Amino acid sequence: METLTVGLGDRSYRILGGNGNLPGIGALCRELGLGRIAAIVTNTTVGPLYSGGVAESLSAAGFSPVLVEIPDGEEFKTSETLNTIYNGLIAGGLTRDSFVIALGGGVVGDMAGFAAATYLRGIPFVQVPTTLLAQVDSSVGGKTGINHPLGKNLIGAFYQPRAVVIDVDTLATLAEREYLAGMAEVVKYGVVLDRELFAEVERNVPALLDRDKAVLTRIIMRCCSIKASVVEKDEREAGLRAVLNYGHTLGHAVETLAGYGTYLHGEAVAIGMVQAARLSEHRGLAGPADVERLCALLTSLKLPVELPVFAADAYKGVLMRDKKARDAGLGFVLNKGIGDFSMVCIRDMDEVLAVCGIGG
């Protein structure tokens, strides 16, 4: 097991990574001094696989677990599903001394975290991510929330977990498409923050496609270390943390226009990263070889790189509703070569559309 700490003063917490960690969740929660009732929030895919073992671990440690199950998929990241979670917490008798276990991927983590942040004005929660995307990105840093029909993640809160427990064994049961989508977030860290990580992913594509546990643990914990460092400096995304949105601006537009669930989040981010790289080349921050290298790596990981076709006005409308939009324009994270970044604010969406080849 490897352990990292996200240093946020009295809200600091540990990230525990490795294989075989799920059976120890009960002991960890007891060590954290959490209350008696624990709600395991999961989905209909992950629940049958892992909720029983998590419940047994909690029971053995003296907790009273209750199960709250929601549908599986980005299209269910809605206020209606959030109410399902609230209903489960109320029916389960959770009080301010109780806590939530978020057992699943990014959707479960975001929604369970938001429910914890708002139920009785806030109760503790523990992230137990079971997808690669959640393990390297969404489970760390305290971003929680739900989607709105007009835009992704428009409703939410910053609310830090009490711990993050990563068990790479859960990746063995992850569908290939979901697993590969998580690789997009791994690549993201390398493109804008860690040139050597990018090169390591390039060297280890076969091992990553084979889900080699040792390679995965090393790369997952490196990604978590990078994110922890960023979150410690800018918890609420006032500046530096926005770098983690690389590829997400156009990626979120793709998800919104295609309909939530058509593209997995990581697939949309892969597409968005390529467009961001093209913008970077257009503005002289990266060269053609950098764009080609990024495209080649994403393609080797079986991820999409081309924007789906929608009207220019449709793209423009979604981009201007993005939560990163400001009076001065829309914030974009661009890559400086491989391993560095620049943040720019673009007012002229026609420039973005033209560079990305979006027609009328």
Would residue 148 show up in a list of annotated catalytic residues for this protein?
no
Helix (H, G, I), strand (E, B) or coil at 97: coil
Give CATH 1.20.1090.10 domain extents, the chain: 191-355
What six digits make up the tokens of 93? 């008798």
Residue 103 sits at φ, ψ, to 5 deg, of -110, 100
pLDDT greater than 80 at residue 16: yes
pLDDT greater than 90 at residue 261: no
**C-alpha–C-alpha distance, residues 208 and 69, integer Å:** 30
pLDDT greater than 80 at residue 327: no
What six digits make up the tokens of 280? 């970077």
287: left (phi over 0), alpha (psi -120 to 50) or beta: beta
Place of tokens 């973005």: 352
Would residue 335 show up in a list of annotated catalytic residues for this protein?
no
Catalytic residue among 69, 178, 237, 255: 237
Would residue 143 show up in a list of annotated catalytic residues for this protein?
yes
Give CATH 3.40.50.1970 domain extents, the chain: 2-173
Q: For domain 191-355, give its CATH number from 3.30.450.30, 1.20.1090.10, 2.160.20.10, 3.40.50.720.
A: 1.20.1090.10
Would residue 302 show up in a list of annotated catalytic residues for this protein?
no
| pLDDT digit string, tens, across residues 21-70 | 999 999 999 999 999 999 999 999 999 999 999 999 999 999 999 999 99
- pLDDT given at position 152: 85
Least confident of 169-183, 254-268, 271-285, 321-335: 321-335
| pLDDT digit string, tens, across residues 91-108 | 999 999 999 999 999 999
Output the known binding site for NAD(+). 72-77, 106-110, 130-131, 143, 152, 170-173
Query: Which residue intervals of the chain are DSSP H helices?
Result: 25-31, 52-60, 79-91, 106-118, 132-133, 176-193, 195-203, 205-209, 213-233, 248-258, 265-282, 288-300, 312-320, 349-355
- pLDDT given at position 151: 85
Output the known binding site. 72-77, 106-110, 130-131, 143, 152, 170-173, 185, 248, 265
Catalytic residue among 21, 43, 143, 178: 143
pLDDT > 70 fraction of the chain, expressed in percent and rounded: 98
Among candidates 72, 167, 163, 156, which has minimal Cα distance to 115? 156
**C-alpha–C-alpha distance, residues 227 and 219, integer Å:** 12
| pLDDT digit string, tens, across residues 116-160 | 999 999 999 999 999 999 999 999 999 999 999 888 899 999 999
Q: Is 332 exposed, middle or buried (0-12, 13-18, 19+ CB in 10 A)?
A: buried
Output the known binding site for Zn(2+). 185, 248, 265
Would residue 252 show up in a list of annotated catalytic residues for this protein?
yes
**C-alpha–C-alpha distance, residues 85 and 12, integer Å:** 26
**C-alpha–C-alpha distance, residues 183 and 190, integer Å:** 11
Would residue 188 show up in a list of annotated catalytic residues for this protein?
no
Among candidates 292, 291, 269, which has minimal Cα distance to 280? 291
Catalytic residue among 21, 43, 178, 185: 185
What six digits make up the tokens of 316? 């423009």
Would residue 336 show up in a list of annotated catalytic residues for this protein?
no
Would residue 237 show up in a list of annotated catalytic residues for this protein?
yes
Q: What sign for the dihedral angle of Cα 316, 321, 326, 327? A: positive
Would residue 121 show up in a list of annotated catalytic residues for this protein?
yes
Give mean pLDDT, residues 69-82.
96
Question: Domain spanning 2-173 has what CATH number?
Answer: 3.40.50.1970
Place of tokens 């995304």: 237
Would residue 267 show up in a list of annotated catalytic residues for this protein?
no
pLDDT greater than 60 at residue 190: yes
- pLDDT given at position 323: 65
Give the global pTM. Answer: 0.93
pLDDT greater than 70 at residue 360: no
Q: Which DSSP state fits 135?
A: I
Catalytic residue among 162, 188, 248, 293: 248
